[in-house]
A = this chain, B = another copy of it.
Amino acid sequence: MSFDVGGRLKEIRASAGLSQRELAARSGVTHSLISLIEQNRNSPSVASLRKILDGIPMSMVNFFDEERVPRGKVFFEAGDLLDLTSRLHQVSGGSGEGRMSFRQVGDAKAHNLQILHESYEPGADTGVTMLKHDSHEGGVVLSGELEITVGDQIKILGPGDAYLFDSRTPHRFRNIGAARCEVVSACTPPYL
């Protein structure tokens, strides 16, 4: 953890070719603030950081993007996983009921391998509109129960059970149990 905010700011300010005072003028903050932040002597408020980034200009996402997958990173704490939930909701059109989350390990593109830690609350459902994409995927159920539909096959998997199939076959995941269901899965590119 503990991403180096000060170092990051210094880095992007340098690559923008700006002095602390120049950036301060553009941003509407004082140069001392920038100095203190770059030395990690204080932790800027989101409001201040945004002002400063607007002077570069750079988005918040891009500022913290380095933090997402620090090049060559091998180990990831729980908080480091990238939450894809909202994106998948856009894709499935919100037809899926119940809460579920999909959190990705590292940079899938860079490694040509997407590994997800998935969680399905009771009732969670990827939706009647079956999923289809040009990949292969598999996984292992850790806890709870998950009903998986692949083509014309339906199976309920419990802890220790696993699956592996061609993602071009229409598929669907549903937690029909009373407990949360957790799964670790993998997928070959393209991911969707």
Contact = CB atoms under 8 A, between A and B. Distances in A.
Main secondary structure of the interface of A (DSSP, over half): helix
Number of copies: 2
A5 B58 contact: no
Interface in A93-115: 99
Interface stretch (A65-73, A131-139, A147-155): A65-73
Contacts of A44: 45-46
Contact of A17 (B49, B67, B99): B99
Interface size classification for chain A: 35 or more
Contact of A60 (B3, B57, B71, B121): B3
A94 to B, nearest CB: 12
A23 interface: no
A78 interface: yes
A59 B68 contact: yes
A24 to B, nearest CB: 16
Given A43-B47, A45-B44, A90-B71, A61 B57 contact: no
Given A58-B79, A59-B68, A60-B67, 16 more contacts: A3-B60, A5-B46, A15-B85, A17-B99, A43-B45, A44-B46, A57-B78, A59-B67, A59-B80, A59-B81, A59-B83, A60-B60, A61-B64, A61-B68, A62-B83, A64-B64
Interface of A: 1, 3, 5, 15, 17, 42-50, 53-54, 56-62, 64-68, 71, 78-83, 85-86, 90, 99, 121
